Amino acid sequence: MRVLGIESSCDETGVAVFDVEAGLLGHCVHSQIDLHATYGGVVPELASRDHIRRLPALVRQVLAESGCSLAQIDAIAYTAGPGLAGALLVGASYAEALGMSLGVPVLPVHHLEGHLLSPLLSADPPEFPFVALLVSGGHTQLMQVTGVGEYVLLGESLDDAAGEAFDKTAKLIGLGYPGGPQLARLAERGHPGRFRLPRPMLKSGDLDFSFSGLKTAVLNVVSGPEWKPEDAADLAADFQDAAVDVLCAKALKALELTGLSRLVVAGGVGANRQLRQRLDVATRRKGWRVYYPEPELCTDNGAMIAFAGARRLAAGEVPGMACAVKVHPRWPLAALRAPGAA
C-alpha cells in the first residue's frame, strides 16, 4: 500500500510517498521562511496562498522522485489540524479532491500524531509503550503512548511552547527569523553560567512546563544597563541550558512516574543538539533508551503525515466516505482514538 502524505498546517508545504513494505519512497518540504521573514512571523493569508501555489508542483516532484505514478497511490493522508485554518483548508481540499478523482480513501491526520510517530520511521524504531516528549513551535507536551491513537496527556506547557520560547528569545537577542535554530547555533559558541536565568516549574512536582518567565528574564537582561551585544552567545547558552534543564528533568520524571523505559522525542526542538546530548546521557545512566526522528524529520514534513495515515489504515481505520473538507485548527491530541475504536 502506498500513501501520499500532505502537510500544510503552517508555513511548510510537505509532500511524501510512504510504502508500507518499502518504507519512505520520497519526500520534499518547501519552507516559506523567506516569504514571512520581513514580517517577523507567519502571515496566515500569505501562508495559505503559497500552499496553493506550491502543492501541485511538489506532488509531481515527489511522485517522480519516488518512481511512482498517481495511479499507484492507494490512499491520501493530510494534516487536518491543529494549525492555521486557511493553510489547513488548502491541504484538506487538495487531498479530498485528488482522492475523489483517483477513487482512493482520504484520511485526515492529526499533525501532532505525525510528529509523535515520526521516530518510528527511523532505522531503529521504538516499540510501544513509551513516553513522548513533544517539543514543537506550538506545543510542549508529555504523553504516555501505548499504541497508535492511545495517548494520555501527562503534562504540558501552561504558556509558551518550547520552540516558541526559542524563537521569541532569539528575537530579543537580535537574531533573524525564525530564530530557534540560530539561537541554538549561537549558544554553542557561548559559555553558560554568567546570567542567572530561572528554571520555571522545575520543582513544581507535576509534569507541566512554563517558558514565558524564562523569556521575560532574557528581556530583563537585554534591556538592562549592563547589556552588551557581544555577550549574546553567553546569554543564548544560558537560555538553552535553562530550557534543556527543565525539558530533561520533566521527561525523566515522566519515565519514573509511568514506570516506562523508552522515551520518544519529537517536534522541531527535538533537533536541538544539547537536548539530545543531555537526554542521551541521563537515560543511559538509568538504563533507559531515547529515540528521535531523523533530524530532517523533526520539523514539519509530509513523511510523518503519510506514515501516520499508513499506520492508521493498516490498523483498520476506515476513512469517512463523503468528500468532507473539514479541519480542526484546535485539536487536543489526547482526544484521538485508536484506529477501529468506537
Residue list for the binding site for Fe cation? 111, 115, 300
156 is a contact residue toward Mg ion (CB under 5 A):
no
Closest CA relative to residue 18, chosen from 325, 318, 261, 310: 310
Distances (CA, A) of 289 to 125, 222, 242, 315: 11, 38, 23, 26
DSSP sequence for 273-328: HHHHHHHHHHHHHHT-EEE---GGGTSS-SHHHHHHHHHHHHTT----SS------
φ, ψ of residue 18 in degrees (nearest 5):
-115, 130
Q: How many residues bind Mg ion (CB under 5 A)?
A: 3
Min separation Cβ 214 and ligand ATP, Å:
13
Min separation Cβ 178 and Mg ion, Å:
7
Between CA 97 and CA 327 the distance in angstroms is: 15
79 interface partner picked from ligand ATP, Fe ion, Mg ion, none, CB below 5 to 8 A per type: none
Distances (CA, A) of 224 to 35, 58, 315: 33, 47, 57
Helices (H) and strands (E) in the chain, counts: 10, 10
User: Which residues are at the interface with Fe ion (CB under 5 A)?
Assistant: 136, 300
Angle, nearest 10°, between helix axes 180-189 and 273-286? 70
Q: Which stretch binds Mg ion (CB under 5 A): 7-15, 189-197, 228-236, 323-331?
A: 7-15
Binder of Mg ion out of 3, 8, 11, 232 (CB under 5 A): 11
Contact 211, 165 (CB under 8 A): yes
Q: Which stretch binds Mg ion (CB under 5 A): 10-18, 47-55, 68-76, 113-121?
A: 10-18
Beta carbon nearer to ligand ATP, 41 or 56? 41
Contact 292, 279 (CB under 8 A): no
Min separation Cβ 320 and ligand ATP, Å:
24
User: Half-sphere exposure of residue 80, counting CA atoms within 13 Å on the CB side?
Assistant: 20
Beta carbon nearer to Mg ion, 36 or 215? 36
167 is a contact residue toward Mg ion (CB under 5 A):
no
Query: Edge-to-edge, what's the strand order for the sheet holding 106-110?
Result: 23-31, 12-19, 2-7, 75-81, 106-110
Min separation Cβ 248 and Mg ion, Å:
24
Between CA 200 and CA 322 the distance in angstroms is: 47
User: Which residues are at the interface with ligand ATP (CB under 6 A)?
Assistant: 9-10, 83, 111, 115, 136-139, 163-164, 166-167, 178, 180-181, 184, 267-269, 271-272, 299-300
The 3-class secondary structure across 244-256, one letter per residue, is HHHHHHHHHHHHH
Residues of span 12-41 touching Mg ion by CB under 5 A: 12
- Which residue of the chain is nearest ligand ATP when measured via CB? 180
269 interface partner picked from Fe ion, Mg ion, ligand ATP, none, CB below 5 to 8 A per type: ligand ATP
164 is a contact residue toward Mg ion (CB under 5 A):
no
Beta carbon nearer to Fe ion, 14 or 105? 14
155 interface partner picked from Mg ion, Fe ion, ligand ATP, none, CB below 5 to 8 A per type: none
Min separation Cβ 232 and ligand ATP, Å:
16
Min separation Cβ 73 and Fe ion, Å:
24
Binding site for Mg ion (CB under 5 A): 10-12
